[in-house]
Amino acid sequence: MSKNKLGLKILPATNREEDENNDNVDNHTASKPISRKHPPLRISFISSNRVSTGPMDVEEIQKKLESQKLDDTQRQKLFEFVAKKKNISELSADDFEFIAELGKGNGGVVSKVRYKPTNLIMARKNIHLEIKPAVKAQIIRELQVLHDCNSPYIVGYFGAFFSDGDISFCMEYMNAGSLDLVMKNAGRLPEPIVAKITISVVNGLIYLREELDIIHRDVKPSNILVNSDGEVKLCDFGVSGQLIDSMANSFVGTRSYMAPERLIGEEYNVRSDVWSLGLSLIELATGRYPIPPAKEEDFHSTFSQDRQVNLAEHLDAALYGKKLKAMQVSDSNNMAIFELLAYIVDYPPPRVPEFCFSNDFITFVHSCLQENALDRPRLESLLTYNFLLNPDKYLEQSQKKYDFSSIEVSFYLRNLLHGLSNDVM
């Protein structure tokens, strides 16, 4: 891999997808639809003022749900979501009542809204785009594949429409918000909760790869949503090449989670998502974006030098929803975005000291953050790591007699976020 700060390129235009049985390369330009397994559905309404996705085939969706390996609760929740979609046909700006702003980022604003025809609460993300009508139609065409995306690990999609130069995505409302917002209240997340979250994220990435033949391309805490039922779901994945191209020149902040091979314009595949996952997990577990890396003395100011003390603290916080102090650095070393991107390409990946976390967590994140993409694990193999497969080992290391199954994301969030505004919970 060529490493030259002056030669750093920001090219989102190519991707590389893995074959299930080997590392064959399949090249595409980002302006083409990324998914190949599902041909685009029809666009049900197009005009100069509005382009909207239309109704989906509910019976076909239900058949696909039956074929997934889901527990009874997951299957029931997805059936309930599909039932809500039955009552939604065309969408337009007039259908919605604004309730509250939930956040800003990625060039868009996310709001909590009420869909007036059925009183259904949704999340609506608005992104302003200066594009031609033909490009609008292509974006909507590519977004149709989201109607085929029904998984307990992917945020539900109701539809999209253009209005007054904005594209609006209408999604399932996740009442605990994104993980970057959770961290503002938590400080940093305890390791057992990070493990539970990771299981859902990896399963979501596997679903996108196996069922829709796409990669996420933007894994980060703000694109991982949670709710008070403990569900963890991915959002904002790169299903529309045209939309990615339309936004690429305006919004580069998200590239701080990109793998080195993407930043220098090389072909990439799902292992780039694995890199982004590794960065995100360190951020969740420390409360700080890990590049440039903190010094060891900065870890000492937040964590005990005794690993057993730290592991016990993680468990207590996970069980009782306690806040943990986010890591502070003595020298913030704020970088401009292009300095940061050059750092990712030119310097070794971040690492965490052994005394802060379990061996299993450290092994997992360090495996994700291999500089060479081919040295990173495949998605499926991530689920075989002890960090996700054998959490009881963590309990042995901490010398605590807890049942890992008693650690629930839902209980943690409800205790952590108790008393916050209903717009958050």
Query: Could you list the active site residues?
Result: 218
User: 403: which residues sit within 8 A by CB, 6+ positions away?
Assistant: none
* 177 φ/ψ angles, rounded to the nearest 5 degrees: 80, -165
Rounded to whole angstroms, the Cα distance separating 33 from 13 reads: 12
Cβ atoms within 10 Å of 185's Cβ, excluding its own = 14
Neighbours of 14 (CB within 10 A): 15
37 annotated binding-site participant: no
Q: What CA–CA distance (Å, rounded) separates 287 from 276? A: 16
**CA–CA distance, 174 with 238 (Å, rounded to integer):** 20
User: Closest Cα to residue 88, out of 63, 60, 61, 120?
Assistant: 120
Neighbours of 216 (CB within 10 A): 24
Strands (DSSP E) contained in 31-132 are 45-46, 51-52, 96-105, 108-115, 120-128
Which of 198, 109, 88 lies closest to 153 in space, CA to CA? 198
Phi-psi region of 106 (alpha: psi -120 to 50; beta: other; left: phi over 0): left
The residue among 212, 229, 194 whose CA lies nearest residue 385 is 194
Annotated binding site for ATP: 125
Annotated binding site: 125
